[in-house]
Structures are given as structure tokens and as C-alpha cells.
């Protein structure tokens, strides 16, 4: 379960969680530069990701998504707070044994083939020769790398690189998979395969954290979103929570502005014309109350339409709220 920013988590959660961040702060400061020029990329972020959960990390550029991924991957040190992966401090050998990481722009040795690259990473994981061979075969099958498995990586297209990077990240069947823009350069078939693979991985109890700007794709992959802005988690949770906000359009015969003014709180009224009211609703459960209130106040309602936000609209709304 994702927990609210700045909210400390219980010890029990810490044991169960695949990722546990406590009051995580990261400030980037260049050597010898003044404190005023320091950038606070993350500000006291606390979260917990449980086994089998796929979390979509969204937010505008500079929100702190990649910083959070890098901290979980143990590539950078937190300024304050701590991160654990499967109960071990990030950057520890034990944490890295449970981790698969795919960067936004994967880079491989140009002279190595895809097979040699997978073998190299298998060796770094400490797998035996036989296990590596087995894992390479598995990766070839599930990512359909047959066509280019023995070609040098220098000749790979972006899509091929992404597939191979995914194979590398999933080589040890990790308990935690961190993906930064995984569908970059993938063709539609590759995206569908990615989705299937992540669902399979989820079924094995692994947790996946995906940072992506492709909201439509993300929507098909996961129901859990974490929206970040200015280094903080603004909202979190499943589809319903992230997309709870919607617009209620109420068709009237007449007197729209007067009814809105007398019967509804000003904060709820988005637009009011003679024959239509556009009202903000945080929860669909509010709709019957609003309609009843309007009817009891004398409104002659002709139509009621509840419009839900899609993920893009939610994203834009949260960005606006964040800016304000």
C-alpha cells in the first residue's frame, strides 16, 4: 500500500514492504556552490510498496521521479531519511540481489551481442554458468530476442535496446523491478508484451515501480499511481483515488445561476448558465445529494451527466493544483 507523504510507517510494514522510504530528502548541491543554488529534488517523501504491486510514478519534469528511482536503486545517497529494499538498506549487496533496474536510455557495450550482454549481467548476479544459460534462453523466449540475440548491440534500434534492457533487468527474476520509461521506442507488439510480462511478474509477487510520461500506456499497466510534484507525493492510490475527481453536468430548464448561488457552495460551481450547471465532484457518491438538493430547491432538471477524468486530465489538473 502506498502511504501518505510525510507519514511515518510502522515497523510491521517495513518488514513486509518491498520498498520502504522514510522521510526521504535529496538535495543536489554542487561542490563549492552556495546553499541558495542547491536544488531540493525530494522533500521528506515516505512510501511503502508491497509485494505484487505495480506503481506508476507520474509527474511533470523536475518532479523528482527519477531521483526517487535512483535512490531506491542505491545509485545516489539521500540527504536525509532512508530507503530499504526487501528490508535491506538500498545500495547494500542484499538489496541489489533483489533488484532489477532499467534506465530510460539503456547503454550496452557496442561490441557485445545481446547474448553476451545477458551473460555478463548473469555473471555479475553471481549465477552459475548453467543458470545463466537457462536464464538467457528464458529471456530470449519471453522478450522474443531470437532475431538479434547474436548481433552486436552497436547495431540495435531503440526498441531492441529497450527489450534487451528489460531482459537484463528481469534476469534474476527480481523482487523489485524499477523501470524508467520502459515503453520508449517499443512498437505496439513490444508494448503489449511488456504489459503481459509485468503482469506475469506481478503474479510471482514481485513489485514494479514504473516512471513514465506515457499515461495512456501506464493506465493499461497499473491501477496504482503516485503523482509527484516539486519533490513531494501529491496524491497516490488506485484508479478510483487518482481519478475520483470529475465533473457533473446538470441540465436545467432555467435559472441556472440563481440555483447555483443559493443551493450550492461556490467552490463546487465551475460554470453556471441558464440551462446548464457544471459542478466539481470529488466522489461519485456526492451526486445523489447534489441532485436532491437542486430538486428540493425548485430546479427542473432535464439531464444529469457525470463526466470522469481520464488519467491525462487528472495529470493536468494535479499539475495545475501543484503550480497553485
For another protein, the binding residues (CB under 8 A) are 28, 41, 59, 61-67, 69-70, 73-77, 93-94, 96-97, 99-112, 119-129, 132, 165, 168-169, 180, 211
Indicate the residue among 210 and 263 with the shorter CB distance to another protein. 210
SS3 9: coil
Nearest approach in angstroms of CB 220 to another protein is 22
Shortest distance (Å) from residue 46 CB to another protein: 20
Q: Are 9 and 22 in contact (CB under 8 A)?
A: yes
Smallest gap from residue 58 Cβ to another protein (A): 11
Element (H, E) at 313: helix 311-323
Which residue's CB is nearer to another protein, number 132 or number 221?
A: 132
Q: Which of 274, 278, 279 is nearest to 255 (CA)?
A: 274
Residue 247 is inside which H or E element, if any?
strand 246-252
CB of 91 to another protein, least distance (A): 9
Smaller CB separation from another protein, 108 or 236: 108
Q: Which three cell numbers stand for residue 43?
A: 522533500
Choose between 110 and 284: whose C-beta lies nearer to another protein: 110
d(CA 268, CA 278): 9
Least separation in angstroms between residue 269's CB and another protein is 36
74 or 246, CB closer to another protein?
Answer: 74
Instruction: Kindly tell me the burial class for residue 249, based on how many C-beta atoms sit within 10 Å of its own C-beta (0-12, 13-18, 19 or more).
Output: middle
Residue with cell 540495435: 156
Amino acid at each position: 500500500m502506498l502511504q501518505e507523504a510525510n507519514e511515518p510507517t510502522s515497523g510491521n510494514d517495513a518488514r513486509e514492504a518491498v520498498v520502504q522510504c522514510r522521510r526521504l530528502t535529496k538535495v543536489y548541491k554542487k561542490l563549492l556552490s552556495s546553499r541558495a543554488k542547491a536544488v531540493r529534488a525530494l522533500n521528506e517523501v515516505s512510501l511503502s510498496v508491497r509485494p505484487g504491486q505495480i506503481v506508476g510514478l507520474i509527474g511533470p519534469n523536475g518532479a523528482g521521479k527519477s531521483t526517487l528511482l535512483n535512490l531506491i536503486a542505491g545509485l545516489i545517497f539521500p540527504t536525509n531519511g532512508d530507503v530499504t529494499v526487501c528490508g535491506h538498506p538500498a545500495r547494500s549487496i542484499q538489496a541489489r540481489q533483489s533488484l532489477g533496474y532499467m534506465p530510460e536510455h539503456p547503454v550496452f557495450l557496442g561490441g557485445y551481442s545481446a547474448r553476451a550482454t545477458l551473460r555478463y549481467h548473469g555473471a555479475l548476479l553471481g549465477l552459475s554458468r548453467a543458470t545463466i544459460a537457462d536464464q538467457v534462453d528464458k529471456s530470449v523466449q519471453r522478450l522474443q530476442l531470437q532475431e538479434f540475440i547474436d548481433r552486436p548491440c552497436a547495431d540495435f534500434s531503440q526498441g531492441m535496446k529497450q527489450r534487451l534492457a528489460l531482459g537484463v533487468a528481469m534476469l534474476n527474476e527480481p523482487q523489485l523491478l524499477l523501470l524508467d520509461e520502459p515503453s520508449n521506442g517499443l512498437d505496439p507488439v513490444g508494448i503489449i508484451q511488456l504489459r503481459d510480462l509485468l503482469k506475469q511478474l506481478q503474479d510471482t509477487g514481485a513489485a514494479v515501480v514504473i516512471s513514465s510520461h506515457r499515461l495512456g500506456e501506464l493506465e493499461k499497466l497499473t491501477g496504482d499511481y503516485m503523482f509527484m510534484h516539486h519533490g513531494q507525493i501529491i496524491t497516490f492510490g488506485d484508479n478510483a483515488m487518482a481519478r475520483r475527481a470529475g465533473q457533473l453536468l446538470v441540465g436545467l430548464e432555467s435559472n441556472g445561476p440563481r440555483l447555483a448561488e443559493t443551493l450550492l457552495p461556490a467552490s463546487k460551481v465551475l460554470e453556471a448558465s441558464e440551462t446548464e450547471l457544471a459542478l466539481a465532484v470529488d466522489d461519485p457518491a456526492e451526486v445523489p445529494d447534489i441532485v436532491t438538493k437542486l430538486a428540493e430547491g425548485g430546479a427542473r432538471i432535464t439531464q444529469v451527466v457525470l463526466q470522469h477524468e481520464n488519467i491525462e486530465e487528472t495529470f493536468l489538473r494535479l499539475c495545475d493544483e501543484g503550480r497553485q
